[in-house]
Structure 1
Amino acid sequence: MIEKVFKLSQTNEKAIEKVIFDENLHYLHMVFNKDEDLPEHLSNSNVYMTVIRGKLSIGLDEQEIHEYGAGSLLKIPFQTKMNVRNVHDETLELIVVKAPAPRS
């Protein structure tokens, strides 16, 4: 078999899955319920964030919080301050790709 297959969990519980972590990229699957979030942090690579379901509330650097629904794809530059959270009743599900893979 040439391909390598990865499975994402299908859950409504909070999850941060490191699906692929190699020298090329980091591919993460994240699930957040209402009032769940990530700690504020700086992006350690270019970040591509796809909203699979729910609505993402995100603050970048000093700008006000913006919201993005399912089907949205965000490109966030390296070294951007990020505040990622779910403030809505519906479960938020994200795919996050970091490319190139962070060196740390």
Structure 2
Amino acid sequence: MPPPKSKGGKMLSLINWRLKVTINDGRAFVGQMLAFDRHMNLVLAECEEFRRVRPKKKAGETEAGPMQEMKRTLGLVILRGETVVSLSVEGPPPVTDEDKKNAVR
């Protein structure tokens, strides 16, 4: 029976995959994972930030409207591992021209 994979081995298999990372303040980041280290610091490319905000009350209203999700395009992002709460796969690595050539053969 093969030895169990270490956490680093599992993370290594996610390089270039599109991930959703939730951090401790409730924000979520979706991007392509380029790198990580032993502290779980992450580098994400083509990253977008999602956060839930409650609209401000207008004069005369008793309560604010429903929560809204705000999206912001960030690009290249480094997330400190200390803040990471959860990690999930959103999609596979992008298909490259090289992959397309190999698929035809």
* TM range, smaller chain: 0.3 to 0.5
TM-score (norm 1): 0.34
Q: Normalising by the residue count of structure 2, what TM-score does the alignment of the two structures yield?
A: 0.33
Where is the helix percentage greater, Structure 1 or Structure 2?
Answer: 2
Q: Which has the larger radius of gyration?
A: 2
Q: Which has the higher contact order (CA 8 A, sep 6+)?
A: 1
